[in-house]
Amino acid sequence: MRYFNNPEALLQLLRTLQSGMSSTLFIFAATLIFSIPLGMVLALLRMNRHRAVSMPVALYILVMRGTPLMLQIFAIYFAIPMLTGMNLDRMAATVVAFSLNYAAYFAEIFRGGMMSIPVGQHEASKVLGLTRAQTFFHVVLPQVVKRVLLPVSNEVITLVKDTSLANVIAVGELFRAAKNESSRTASIEPLFAAGLFYLLMNGAVTLFFSAVNRRMAYYKD
């Protein structure tokens, strides 16, 4: 073995992967920051009674969920400059593509959560004099968060692994850094080291959602 039995070489490998790790964490965090609020908005629009509003959103969700994320990254990075003349750098194109893609998945998760709330709770809130906004934020949303926690955590875990797709447009994320080092040294150990980073990230995500789930245990289904 070139790295795992050589502490000095392993330390150098970790330093090489560090810059890629920073890019991976940025893609991960930026995608969640943009896609979760957008997913909530899309879910509300998808539930709108007017088909002129709900059908375009349904089509958008179908396209985003029905085509590969890799293709969407290519489309954002190459098609937008061709159509609009506006150039996006690689990182910006990656974040836009990831955010639009994951917003579609989150939208369906949130829609399912909101539709699972009994109609009687809306009626009871109205009787108590709560506005629609108060009903949504104080009655519906806390229950929705509890019910969608597990599927959202699954998507977030998938997102950690999907960040490796950014390398298709040469974004210097973790997997690309590991692949370059692997090619340079003719060793697969950098790829295993990158895999360990992904595993540790997903372990942290799992622990976070488990803690949140325990905190929200007072909402009984």
The residue behind tokens 């009984």 is 220
| Residue from 93, 89, 57 nearest 75 by CA | 93
CA angle 185, 190, 192 (to 5 degrees): 140
| Residue from 216, 64, 200 nearest 149 by CA | 216
Residue-level pLDDT at 211: 92
Cβ atoms < 10 Å from Cβ of 159: 21
Residue-level pLDDT at 218: 62
What's the CA gap between 98 and 162, in Å, rounded?
Answer: 9
Token pair in block for residue 71: 């293709």
Does the CA dihedral 97-98-103-106 come out positive or negative? positive
Residues with Cβ within 8 Å of 172's Cβ and at least 6 positions away in sequence, in order, are: 19, 20, 23
Residues with Cβ within 8 Å of 159's Cβ and at least 6 positions away in sequence, in order, are: 28, 31, 32, 98, 102
Residue-level pLDDT at 219: 56
What's the CA gap between 102 and 34, in Å, rounded?
Answer: 9
Residue-level pLDDT at 117: 83
Mean pLDDT by 10 residues, the chain (221 residues): 80 88 96 97 94 96 96 92 84 96 97 86 79 81 86 96 93 91 90 94 95 76 51
Residue-level pLDDT at 44: 93
* C-alpha dihedral (6, 12, 14, 16), degrees to nearest 10: -140
Residue-level pLDDT at 193: 92
User: Taking the model in full, what pTM does it have?
Assistant: 0.89
Any alpha helices (H) in the chain, and if so which ranges? Answer: 7-46, 51-66, 69-74, 80-84, 90-115, 119-127, 132-134, 141-162, 174-185, 189-215
CA angle 216, 148, 123 (to 5 degrees): 85
